[in-house]
Structure 1
Amino acid sequence: MALPRAVTIRRDSVEYTNNVEAVQYTINELVRAALRDCGKLFCNRFRQAYYGAFKRKKGNVGRFTQYWVRSKQETPDLLVGIKPNAFYGGMQEFGSSKTARLGLLTNTAQENIDTMQEIQAQYLSAINQENPTVSDEEYEGGADG
């Protein structure tokens, strides 16, 4: 999708420029990029945890992790999981009647929440870098009088 153009409106020798669509596009792209980096981090940390959990390589579940950033929705989101061709992945995550629950995906997510929030904060702070005139002061409201 191409960057939307600004809309210029002229009335009574005053020119108004509307950049709302461009700003929405920029925010959406920053959120997508942040989610993509969080997905990469999650998959790498999961592989480290998975291969560290076993003394020897046990199956290929670590290799079959993947992430999806669904960006065609109103609000982009991140899905992380195990590909369907990793047959024992679900059994190792949730357990079965004969194997104990390992919960490596769940544990990896819980251990890395702070890191993922930092990644997203770095991307979204780029909004202020693009338009430095936005102040960080808190609005107190009311009219000057």
Structure 2
Amino acid sequence: MALPKSVTKIKRDGVEFVSNVDRAQYTLTELTRAALRDCAKLIRKRMIEKLKKLPGMKRNRRLYRSSQYWVRRREGDLLIGFKHNTWYGADSELGKNGQPGRNILRETVYENIDEIRKIQGQYLSAIEDDNRAIGLISEEEYQSGDGPE
């Protein structure tokens, strides 16, 4: 989504009305997406650190390679988890056939709530400074499996 015009000006009866609503709405939406993306990066990184410490995980990278996240533009939310139908992913996390799940994703999120709040606060407080906000917003789309681990 391209950055909208900074203002909309309407002149009527010698009075000029100036509206920044479109730009403010765009900035809020994009700052929220950027904050969610950075939170997902943090959660995935911490989750991979935990997974690498599990017995047998040094040899078996499939579990942490199956973790991924998406920041959805239309819905404005974050999805993080394991690839669908992977025994070493979702089934290991949730458990299957009477075996207990590991709950590593859930525990990782709970353990990092303070960091998540800091990240969200950093981005959303930038709305007060337009230049800072634009600097935090990244136009590139990022999906978790694309970068280095």
Coarse TM-score class (shorter-chain normalised): 0.7 to 0.9
Matched-pair contact (CA < 8 Å) for 1:4–1:22: yes
When Rg is computed on C-alpha atoms for both structures, the one with the higher figure is: 1
| Aligned position for 1:91 | 91
| Separation (CA, whole Å) in 2 of partners of 1:10 and 1:72 | 34
Deviation at 1:54, TM superposition (A): 2.3
Relative distance call for 1:56 and 1:78 in structure 2 (3 A) is: closer
1:125 and 2:111 aligned? no
When the two structures are superposed, what TM-score results if normalisation uses the length of structure 2? 0.78
| Aligned position for 1:70 | 72
| Aligned position for 1:2 | 2
Matched-pair contact (CA < 8 Å) for 2:93–2:104: yes
- RMSD (Å) for aligned C-alpha atoms: 1.9
| Aligned position for 1:17 | 18
Matched-pair contact (CA < 8 Å) for 1:91–1:99: no
Residue type of the alignment partner of 1:22: R
| Aligned position for 1:60 | 62
| Separation (CA, whole Å) in 2 of partners of 1:65 and 1:86 | 10
Report matched runs for 1:101-120 at 5 Å.
101-120=101-120
The total of aligned residue pairs comes to 129
Deviation at 1:70, TM superposition (A): 1.0
Q: Which runs of 4+ in 1 moved over 6 A?
A: none
Deviation at 1:130, TM superposition (A): 2.7
Deviation at 1:59, TM superposition (A): 5.0
Relative distance call for 1:97 and 1:87 in structure 2 (3 A) is: closer
Q: CA offsets, 1:48-86, max 9 Å, x none?
A: 01111225424511111110111112xx11110111363
The gaps in structure 1 that reach 5 residues or longer are 132-145
| Aligned position for 1:134 | none
| Aligned position for 2:145 | none
By relative contact order (CA 8 Å, sep 6+), the higher-ranking structure is: 2
Percent of residue pairs bearing the same amino acid type: 45
Residue type of the alignment partner of 2:51: Y
| Separation (CA, whole Å) in 2 of partners of 1:118 and 1:77 | 18
Greater alpha carbon shift after TM alignment, 87-96 vs 24-33 = 87-96
Q: CA offsets, 1:113-134, max 9 Å, x none?
A: 1111110100001011239xxx
Residue type of the alignment partner of 2:88: Y
1:30 and 2:31 aligned? yes
